[in-house]
Structure 1
Amino acid sequence: MPSLWIFVSPVLLLVVSNVFMTFAWYGHLKVEHRPIWLIVLISWGIAFFEYCLAVPANRIGRLAYEPAELKAMQEVITLAVFAVFSVAYLGERLTLNHGVGFLLIAAGAWFVFKGPFAG
């Protein structure tokens, strides 16, 4: 029986890695006065830390989850992190359309975890 840590650590690592990636991809939207080449280099540097967490998350996660489950989990985590980032950092407003869209993606992840349909 695998340790609980095998199931939990990939989730925690993916959450933190997504925080880094969200800042790498979208954090520069509040820094419009810098040249794009500098923004790309800074974003690339931030993304390095994302990879340092995402790769182990998937390596450890493979012990407990199927690759499709890891990907579905990562997408839901990405949306959750982005939603918080968008409101807290960018000052954006989430709308009902965003909520419905995110729920549909989460429903897709649920189907991935549900496993094959009996047929």
Structure 2
Amino acid sequence: MSFTLIKTILLLCTANLFMLFAWYGHLKDLHQKPLWIAILISWGIALIEYCFQVPANRIGFTQLNLAQLKILQEVITLVIFVPFAVMYMQQPLKWDYLWAGLCMMGAVYFIFRT
């Protein structure tokens, strides 16, 4: 695995963690606050996310095509989402996560085969 791909994966993982908090963290932490406060805080978190996402995509696009970059992003999203949902949002672990993961592995196989 190349250093470029490793850097891309690490940046995408970091970006995804921030984006999950921007998208879903307010459901747990700000549900009592007015919507406009949740929106502003989520925008601020999303700005940080973009500081990782944009470089990850630029770096990754030097070795991956657009479809590969997108599937990589989706797999990372699922890998980061499951622990976030279970540990932070206190959601039950479901078999659906495993089935979704297996479907994503199929997508990885088809998009990365040469």
For the aligned pair, the TM-score class normalised by the smaller chain equals over 0.9
**Runs of 5+ consecutive residues of structure 1 not aligned to the other structure:** none
Matched with 2:6 is 8
Matched with 1:26 is 24
Moved >4 Å (runs of 4+): none
Q: Provide the secondary structure at the position in 2 that maps to 1:63.
A: coil
**Runs of 5+ consecutive residues of structure 2 not aligned to the other structure:** none
User: TM-score, normalised to structure 1's length?
Assistant: 0.89
Matched with 1:38 is 37
Query: Percent of pairs identical after alignment?
Result: 44
Matched with 2:58 is 59
Tell me how far apart the structure 2 counterparts of residues 70 and 17 of structure 1 sit (CA, whole Å). 14
RMSD (Å) for aligned C-alpha atoms: 1.4
Alpha-carbon deviations, 1:31-69, whole Å to 9, x = none? Answer: 310111110110010000111111100101111111111
Tell me how far apart the structure 2 counterparts of residues 21 and 77 of structure 1 sit (CA, whole Å). 12
User: TM-score, normalised to structure 2's length?
Assistant: 0.93
Cα gap change, 1:5 to 1:90, in 2 (>3 Å): same
Matched with 1:94 is 93
**Letter of the structure 1 residue corresponding to residue 74 of structure 2:** E
Tell me how far apart the structure 1 counterparts of residues 72 and 106 of structure 2 sit (CA, whole Å). 11
Instruction: Tell me the number of residue pairs that the alignment of Structure 1 and Structure 2 aligns.
Output: 113
**Letter of the structure 1 residue corresponding to residue 28 of structure 2:** K
Tell me how far apart the structure 1 counterparts of residues 76 and 25 of structure 2 sit (CA, whole Å). 18
